[in-house]
Amino acid sequence: MSYQPGIPTGTVPLNEDYLNLQNNFTQINTQFEVDHVPLTSTSGTPPNGYHKALHLVPVSTVASNAPKNQPINGYTSTGGYGQVLSAQINDDIATDEALYFLSGGGLLTQMTRNFQPTIGTEGATMLPGGLILNWGVATSTGATTFVNLTQKLPGNFFNAQATFQNGSAANRSICCQTAAGPAPAMGFITQLAFLSSSSSKFFWWAIGN
């Protein structure tokens, strides 16, 4: 069965066209059931019409806006209304979909990236706007200590900070020595180097995109 536009036609008696009408209503219910509680549900929990999921068609892809679809295109703002958009992107981490919010004034904010946040003592997540935040704990040797980022930075390295885990008098200072350790492949920032004046564990974080 498929939906037939133009039914009823007005040229076929309803007692003959009613099967086509039934078919059309069946198809409407079938289409509505995608991402929704179906109209034919009788439980009322949740109510008919509530969303079960929300599938967003990408406004643009790496094929329509090659090579990486960054910045994304294919959207138009509507004054006085906000929009949630999906777009396929490839920022050298992976090709996947990301979520955006577009204001009525045309301000576009990236809400997700194409990697899975990792939450723990060492981890990485993303911040609105597309920033990537890495953090962890390392043990200094009193010299240069390298730490591997949980999530590589494919674009820019902006800042890094480190703090000794305890406040003993022996812990003099620690600083980010360089933006990256060994030369990262493909331009990725994958590693940071910290220079310390004593041996101790330290907390660190780094931010980029």
13-64: per-residue pLDDT in tens? 888 888 888 898 888 888 888 888 888 888 888 888 899 899 999 999 999 9
Residue 183 is predicted with a pLDDT of: 43
User: CB neighbours of 43 closer than 8 A, spacing ≥ 6?
Assistant: none
Q: What is the CATH number of the domain that holds 169?
A: 2.60.40.3940
In a domain, 45, yes or no: no
Residue 179 is predicted with a pLDDT of: 52
Its domain, for residue 33, covers 1-40
**In this structure, are 188 and 147 located in the same domain?**
yes
Structure tokens at 115: 């990697």
Q: How many domains does the chain have?
A: 3
Predicted structure pTM score? 0.78
Contact 139, 145 (CB under 8 A): yes
In a domain, 60, yes or no: yes
**In this structure, are 36 and 91 located in the same domain?**
no
86-142: per-residue pLDDT in tens? 999 998 888 999 999 999 999 999 999 989 999 999 999 999 999 999 999 999 887
**In this structure, are 128 and 185 located in the same domain?**
yes
Annotate 47-79 with DSSP letters as a single string. Answer: PTT-BS------S--TTTTTTT--S--S---BT
* Burial category of 140 from C-beta neighbours within 10 Å (exposed 0-12, middle 13-18, buried 19 and up): buried
In a domain, 92, yes or no: yes
Return the half-sphere exposure (C-beta side, CA atoms, 13 A cut-off) of residue 134.
26
